């Protein structure tokens, strides 16, 4: 099922936001521009000035978000979401203990299905809603409201979150009635994309090794059998040796490992994904941890004994 974006979403109660990396900052700006009052939790006071220029109210006290009708988390992994939702040290009891009954935790992070189920159960126990809504798209897509949102949860909770989805993305897909359904879709979607990038990279490396221009090959493939966005957009970036993040390798590796864990738990082997995991580990070991997943093209070329121009800057800290 899918819902079309509404160009004029109606403002609602305060929206909390935790996770102000490149994705989260773009989302905060779009929510504010659409008329939502956004209260963002930040760890460092110096981040407040940057957010205030976007029209976002920033706070270093997470309890300032407890009165929000919807609290959005856009964090990098299971541990970060667990700490914010269930509490830890300076975060106190977390969102689950702090939000009022009837409030919704809208988790837009890419996390495991097990963590999503755990969070959903705890929020349900405390009379709150929980919606999983991971996204397909990079920070540039987030800025332009071009994200694809995969949402799952109780139908009434999804309806309450829809104005936010309309402010953030170009289309919302309903992935199921249980929140973890959306997380499985996102993990396997990222897995398929990573595997596609690896196959493109291997083919490009072979053409280069034979002394041929791989652009002709990719033009034929993307004009015939492989005309999707992944092959066209990332194939072009691999050809151009464009490795600027993006989706940095450590975060890709995290998602690939989560997908493999889902396969193991279900008894569904995914040997092609094992190969992608190993390539990502190789890239990170070579110092490419600050590069986009298009750096799979660089790794494949190096493994084939081809010398490409190495990126000038590597090892940047991934956005959270």
Domain with residue 54: its CATH number is 3.40.50.720
* Pairing label, strands 57-59, 104-107: unpaired
pLDDT at 80: 96
Is residue 230 located within the same domain as residue 82?
no
Please tell me whether the overall predicted TM-score, pTM, comes out greater than 0.75 for this model.
yes
Is residue 266 located within the same domain as residue 135?
no
Q: Domain range spanning residue 231?
A: 185-303
Q: What is the CA angle 195-231-303, rounded to 5? A: 50
> Which tokens belong to 19?
């996770």
Q: Taking 70 as the threshold, does the pLDDT of residue 316 lie above it? A: no
> Which tokens belong to 51?
């957010």
Q: Taking 60 as the threshold, does the pLDDT of residue 197 lie above it? A: yes
Determine the Cα–Cα distance for residues 110 and 87; give it in Å rounded to an integer: 19
Q: Taking 70 as the threshold, does the pLDDT of residue 216 lie above it? A: yes
Q: Is residue 312 domain-resident?
A: no
Determine the Cα–Cα distance for residues 171 and 149; give it in Å rounded to an integer: 6
Determine the Cα–Cα distance for residues 56 and 31; give it in Å rounded to an integer: 9
Q: Which helix (H) or strand (E) holds 238?
A: helix 235-239
Q: Taking 50 as the threshold, does the pLDDT of residue 319 lie above it? A: no
Is residue 158 located within the same domain as residue 239?
no
273 burial level (CB within 10 Å; 0-12, 13-18, 19+): buried
Determine the Cα–Cα distance for residues 157 and 197; give it in Å rounded to an integer: 35
Determine the Cα–Cα distance for residues 298 and 312; give it in Å rounded to an integer: 13
Is residue 139 located within the same domain as residue 12?
yes
Domain with residue 258: its CATH number is 1.10.1040.10
> Which tokens belong to 50?
């940057």
- Site of tokens 């990279």: 201
Q: Taking 70 as the threshold, does the pLDDT of residue 6 lie above it? A: no
Determine the Cα–Cα distance for residues 81 and 87; give it in Å rounded to an integer: 9
Is residue 191 located within the same domain as residue 171?
no
- Site of tokens 């809603």: 129
pLDDT tens sequence across 294-310: 999 999 999 999 988 66
> Which tokens belong to 109?
């992070």
Is residue 149 located within the same domain as residue 191?
no
pLDDT tens sequence across 118-176: 999 999 999 999 999 999 999 999 999 999 999 999 999 999 999 999 999 999 999 99
């Amino acid at each position: 099922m899918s819902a079309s974006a509404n160009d004029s979403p109606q403002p609602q109660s305060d929206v909390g936001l935790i996770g102000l990396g490149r994705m989260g900052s773009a989302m905060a700006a779009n929510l504010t521009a659409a008329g939502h009052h956004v209260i963002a939790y930040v760890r460092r006071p110096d981040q407040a000035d940057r957010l205030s220029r976007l029209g976002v109210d920033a706070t270093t006290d997470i309890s300032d978000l407890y009165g929000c009708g919807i609290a959005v988390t856009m964090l990098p992994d299971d541990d970060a979401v667990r700490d914010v939702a269930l509490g830890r040290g300076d975060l106190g009891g977390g969102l689950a203990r702090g939000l009022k009954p009837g409030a919704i935790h809208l988790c837009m992070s890419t996390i495991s299905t097990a963590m999503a189920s755990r969070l959903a159960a705890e929020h349900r126990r405390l009379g709150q809603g929980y919606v999983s809504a991971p996204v397909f798209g990079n920070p540039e897509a987030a800025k332009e409201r071009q994200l694809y949102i995969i949402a799952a949860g109780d139908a009434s909770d999804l309806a309450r979150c829809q104005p936010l989805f309309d402010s953030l993305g170009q289309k919302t897909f309903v992935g199921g009635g249980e929140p973890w359904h959306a997380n499985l879709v996102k993990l396997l979607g990222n897995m398929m994309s990573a595997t596609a990038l690896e196959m493109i990279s291997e083919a490009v490396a072979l053409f280069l090794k034979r002394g041929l221009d791989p652009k002709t090959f990719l033009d034929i493939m993307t004009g015939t059998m492989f005309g999707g966005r992944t092959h066209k957009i990332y194939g072009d970036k691999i050809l151009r040796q464009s490795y600027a993040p993006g989706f940095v390798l450590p975060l890709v590796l995290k998602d690939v490992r989560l997908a493999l864990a889902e396969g193991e738990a279900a008894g569904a082997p995914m040997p092609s994904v094992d190969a992608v995991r190993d390539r990502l580990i190789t890239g990170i070991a070579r110092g490419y941890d600050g590069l986009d997943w298009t750096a799979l093209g660089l790794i494949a070329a190096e493994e084939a004994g081809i010398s490409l121009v190495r990126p000038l800057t590597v090892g940047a800290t991934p956005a959270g």
